[in-house]
Amino acid sequence: MEDIQFENEVDNKVFDIIVVGAGVAGSAFAYSLGKAGKRVLCIERDLSEPDRIVGELMQPGGVKALRELGMEDCLDGIDSSLVFGYGIFKQGKGTKLSYPKDSNGAIINGFSFHHGRFIQKLRLKASSCENVFMVEGTVSSLIEEDGIIKGVTYIESKKKDTSNNENKENSDENNSSNNNNNTTGTNKDIINEVRAPLTVVCDGCFSNLRKALVPENQPLLTSTFVGLIIKGVQLPFQCHGHVFLVDPAPILMYRIGSDEIRVLVDIPFKCPPNSELKEYLETVTAPQLPESLRESFLYALRNSPLKKMPNSRLPPNPTPKPGVLMIGDSWNMRHPLTGSGMTVCLSDCVILSKLITQSQPSINFTDRVSMEKLLQKFTTQRKPLASTLNVLAGALYKVFSASNEHLRKACLGYLSLGGEFSAGPVALLSGLKPKPHILAMHFFAVAFYGVIKNIFPFPTPARIRRCFQILCAASDIVVPLLRSEGVLKYIQNICIILRLTK
């Protein structure tokens, strides 16, 4: 793949916006603003191709947002696979769920791919914009004066690149610097200080700057994904993601290359050392997989290293300081079972870039009132999609876990009914129907489906008690999620009044 052009020096350059991080959110946001005429400095710790086991499946809503940003071509040339929906399996029985159809009758699709290849295409696209300047370095701190974020301090990478865009260099010769770019340190560390009216933090789930901005809002670890790649096999449903409802937590599979299938095993407890983990996967997980996939899974388990990724939940909490915003996983996370992370962050990029570039008059990012208005508009516009996908991810993960067996059976039975019973939830999952109240309707419909299945044909005290337990379990799952997102308070209150949850 073509090398990414990055800047060795940022002296004598004036920037409108600093973007911290060049992952999905950072690259997309930098490109969107650069294309709109804003001069953007994007600082990324490591511009080499990342090797991660998440951020590999993009729902149709994410593809739509990528198209709006003008970056859909980043899905080309990376051996990506079409995704037309999901298959859900339990004890050998499968249910096929397809995405909605477009106005022409064709099934809308998502994509799955190698995360690193996609990231490099995004970075190349962003760095090709004449207004976007890529720098490889580690942001160590934010520059704060009188409660306002003025820029960042970063440690410059030691790599040198001679392929810088000459047009970018020439365009800066006549610029006077408003940046206080001090270069200090030893010949080991070159520390730079750069300033701009707005700093956008999108440095991922392991954000270095989150504690400085929202110390009270830290990720809650829910589980760990253990990743493998299996080869030489076909999944039951072509061009579909697959969820296997095994004990104690679900397994996710999807194609990321012509002959590569990603396997993600969810570990809902403290992840043991690799030797114990391999034994667990071989003795507990493998026997629950379909025979057609079991041998390939065991071969990969014995012959390739295990990759781990913590799964965390982080509700969005607005940054209180002028001059700075947060987007992406540094600000908002949900369980990756539903593959909705990129959809949320790309949609956020679309919304925020429009608010910034189309605002008349231009926003004063250092003014507290102006920033509060911007944040209010941003959170209001993002809430339908983000809250729907955040709640859906948390709820599905809980429902698909073995600890909620009655709900798990009810959910699979409900989706197997077909028609709107499956089309509605899949439309929500796709990111194309951002309606929290529709999500709540289907969620409680699943619970009542479970009640009906358990109470008939002969209601008994034991069955009635079990039905009440199902409703309580459903409420205990969804109410905290709704509360953390600040949506559907009337449903929260109804559940509390009926004593279904606390």
User: What is d(CA 116, CA 55) in angstroms, rounded to the nearest whole number?
Assistant: 9
Lowest mean pLDDT among 167-171, 191-195, 278-282, 392-396: 167-171
Residue 103 has pLDDT above 90, yes or no: no
Average pLDDT over residues 331-339: 96
Mean pLDDT of the chain: 91
Average pLDDT over residues 252-266: 97
Q: Are 83 and 254 contacting, i.e. CB atoms less than 8 angstroms apart? A: yes
Average pLDDT over residues 98-106: 89
Model pLDDT for residues 265-289, shown as the tens digit of each residue: 999 999 999 999 999 999 999 999 9
Q: What is the DSSP string of 106-122?
A: PBP-EEE--HHHHHHHH
- And the tokens for 153? 């301090």
Residue 165 has pLDDT above 70, yes or no: no
CA 200 remoteness from chain centre:
17
Average pLDDT over residues 325-336: 96
Task: Catalogue all structural domains in the chain, each as residue range(s) with its CATH number.
Answer: 1-78+114-219+315-385 (3.50.50.60), 80-112+220-312 (3.30.9.100), 391-497 (no CATH)
Give the per-residue pLDDT at 323.
95
**Please, which pLDDT band fits residue 456 given cuts at 50, 70 and 90?**
confident
User: What is d(CA 211, CA 363) in angstroms, rounded to the nearest whole number?
Assistant: 26
CA angle 316, 317, 321 (to 5 degrees): 135
**Please, which pLDDT band fits residue 258 given cuts at 50, 70 and 90?**
very high
Give the per-residue pLDDT at 330.
95
**Please, which pLDDT band fits residue 14 given cuts at 50, 70 and 90?**
confident
Nearest to 152 by CA among 43, 230, 263: 43
Q: Helices 405-416 and 368-399: crossing angle, nearest 10°? A: 90
Give the per-residue pLDDT at 181.
47
Lowest mean pLDDT among 129-133, 157-161, 367-371: 157-161
Model pLDDT for residues 353-410, shown as the tens digit of each residue: 999 999 888 899 989 999 999 999 999 999 999 999 999 999 999 999 988 899 999 9
Average pLDDT over residues 428-450: 95
User: What is d(CA 223, CA 199) in angstroms, rounded to the nearest whole number?
Assistant: 31
Nearest to 501 by CA among 482, 476, 469: 476
Model pLDDT for residues 287-307, shown as the tens digit of each residue: 999 999 999 999 999 999 999
Q: Is 493 left (phi over 0), alpha (psi -120 to 50) or beta?
A: alpha
Q: Residue type at 69? A: L
User: What is d(CA 120, CA 104) in angstroms, rounded to the nearest whole number?
Assistant: 33
- And the tokens for 453? 């299945």
Give the per-residue pLDDT at 5.
59
Cβ atoms within 10 A of the Cβ of 374, count? 21
pTM of the prediction?
0.91
Residue 168 has pLDDT above 60, yes or no: no
Per DSSP bridges, beta strands 93-98 and 110-112 are unpaired
Lowest mean pLDDT among 18-22, 169-173, 240-244, 287-291: 169-173
Model pLDDT for residues 37-84, shown as the tens digit of each residue: 999 999 999 999 999 999 999 999 999 999 999 999 999 999 999 999
